[in-house]
C-alpha cells in the first residue's frame, strides 16, 4: 500500500489535550514498511519528523512543520509458553488498554494494574509507565526498535532499556529510537499486587475476597474513572508532573513544617513525595485561567476546558513549578513531551 500523505491536517483529534494545531503533513503508518517509507521520504525531502502514537503524553505548543508520523500498526502474538512465563508481543500501534484487556481475556496476569492507561504499546516503555505498584519494567521481556541514526533494527533486553521512575534510555536519546514491537513476560498463575492505593479496599467494597486478575483490572478501572477525567470529555494528559524524589533529610525537614506530608520511602534511601499533595497544599487545585486549568478533583491533572492553547497550558505548568519550588524547595518535573 502506498503512503497516503494528508496535507494541512488539524491534530486536535490526535492529542488527548485536544490542542488544535496543524501539521504540514500527516502519515498514518499501518505497517513497518510504511514507517520506513515515510521516514525515507522525510529524509530525502528535508522534513523534520514528529512521531506520535495515542498522543496521550504530548503537549503541542504550536503548529508542527514537516511530517507527523502516526504509528498505527496492529497485531498481538504469543511467542512462547514452555512452562514458564508466557511471552506476548504487540505491535507499537496497539492501543494500550485494549492490549491489556486482550491479555486478561487469554487468562494472563501481569498487566492488570496498568489498566485504563491511555496511549499505545509502543509509547509504554518510553517512560516506563506505572500505576498501583506495577511498572512496565516488572513485566518487560524485550522490544525491537529502529535506530533512526543508522537505519538498523535493534532488539533491547530489560537491562538495555535502563528503566527508572517514569524514565528509560529512550527518553534520554529523543528522536533516535522508534519502537516497533514490545514483548512482555506474563503468567497464567496470578501474582496480584493489591496493596498500593485503594485497590484492596475497592475489592473489599465489591465483596470480592479472592480476586482474579480481571477483578483487579475492573477495580482499577473504576478507581481511575473516578479520579481522572476522560480525555474524550475534558482534554488532559493524565498526571502532568512526576512525583519528586528527595533525600530523607529533606523529607524530614519538610515534615516538620508540614506534618501531613504524603511521602513514600524508597529502596535506595530517597523519599518519593506526592506531587498532587504539594500542588493542592499550594492552592492550585481547581484553578482556572481562561480554558487552561487544574482539575477540580485531581491536582496532578492539568486540563483544557475547550480552547486553551498548548502554550497557555505550558505557562500554567511553569507557574505551578515555580510556586512549588518557592514554597517547598522541590522542583516538579513535567511528564508530557513538549513540542
Q: Which residues are catalytic?
A: 166, 239, 335
Total residue count of the chain as it appears in this document: 339
Among candidates 244, 202, 228, which has minimal Cα distance to 328?
A: 244
Compute the distance between CA of residue 187 and CA of residue 265 in angstroms, rounded to an integer.
Answer: 29
Residue 165: φ, ψ to 5°: -65, 110
Residue 49 in contact with residue 42, Cβ under 8 Å? Answer: yes
Cell numbers at 88, concatenated: 506476548
CA angle centred on 105, ends 104 and 106, rounded to 5° = 85
Each as own residue / partner, the long-range contacts of residues 145-148 (CB below 8 Å, 24 or more positions apart, any chain) are: 145/170, 145/177, 145/178, 145/179, 145/180, 146/35, 146/36, 146/39, 146/177, 146/178, 146/180, 147/176, 147/177, 148/39, 148/175, 148/176, 148/177, 148/178
Alpha-carbon separation of residue 143 from 99, 108, 160, 250 (angstroms): 16, 19, 10, 38
Cell 491489556 belongs to 100
DSSP string of 109-149? BSSGGGTT--SBGGGTTTTT-EETTEEGGGTEEEEEEEETT
Amino acid at each position: 500500500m502506498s503512503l497516503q500523505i494528508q496535507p494541512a491536517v488539524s491534530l486536535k483529534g490526535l492529542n488527548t489535550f485536544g490542542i488544535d494545531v496543524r501539521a504540514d503533513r500527516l502519515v498514518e503508518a499501518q505497517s513497518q514498511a510504511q514507517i520506513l517509507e515515510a521516514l525515507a521520504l522525510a529524509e530525502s525531502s528535508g522534513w523534520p519528523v514528529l512521531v506520535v502514537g495515542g498522543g496521550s503524553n504530548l503537549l503541542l505548543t504550536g503548529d508542527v512543520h514537516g511530517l507527523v508520523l502516526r504509528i498505527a500498526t496492529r497485531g498481538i502474538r504469543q511467542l512462547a509458553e514452555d512452562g514458564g512465563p508466557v511471552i506476548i508481543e504487540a505491535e507499537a500501534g496497539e492501543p494500550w488498554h485494549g492490549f491489556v484487556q486482550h491479555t486478561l481475556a487469554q487468562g494472563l496476569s501481569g498487566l492488570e494494574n496498568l489498566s485504563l492507561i491511555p496511549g499505545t504499546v509502543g509509547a509504554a516503555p518510553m517512560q516506563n509507565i506505572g500505576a498501583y505498584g506495577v511498572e512496565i519494567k516488572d513485566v518487560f521481556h524485550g522490544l525491537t526498535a529502529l535506530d533512526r541514526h543508522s537505519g538498523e533494527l535493534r532488539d533491547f533486553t530489560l537491562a538495555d532499556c535502563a528503566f527508572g521512575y517514569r524514565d528509560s534510555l529512550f527518553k534520554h536519546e529523543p528522536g533516535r529510537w522508534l519502537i516497533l514491537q514490545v514483548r512482555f513476560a506474563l503468567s497464567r498463575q496470578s501474582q496480584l499486587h493489591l496493596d498500593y492505593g485503594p485497590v484492596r479496599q475497592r475489592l473489599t467494597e465489591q465483596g470480592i475476597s479472592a480476586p482474579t486478575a480481571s477483578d483487579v483490572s475492573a477495580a482499577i478501572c473504576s478507581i481511575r474513572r473516578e479520579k481522572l477525567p476522560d480525555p474524550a470529555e475534558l482534554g488532559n494528559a493524565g498526571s502532568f508532573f512526576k512525583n519528586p524524589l528527595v533525600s530523607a533529610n529533606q523529607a524530614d525537614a519538610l515534615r516538620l513544617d508540614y506534618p501531613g506530608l504524603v511521602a513514600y520511602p524508597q529502596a535506595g534511601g530517597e523519599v518519593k513525595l506526592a506531587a498532587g499533595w504539594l500542588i493542592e497544599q499550594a492552592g492550585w487545585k481547581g484553578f482556572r485561567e481562561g480554558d487552561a486549568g487544574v482539575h477540580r478533583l485531581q491536582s496532578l491533572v492539568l486540563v483544557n476546558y475547550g480552547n486553551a492553547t498548548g502554550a497557555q497550558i505550558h505557562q500554567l505548568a511553569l507557574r505551578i513549578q515555580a510556586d512549588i519550588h518557592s514554597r517547598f524547595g522541590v522542583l516538579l518535573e513535567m511528564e508530557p513531551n513538549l513540542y
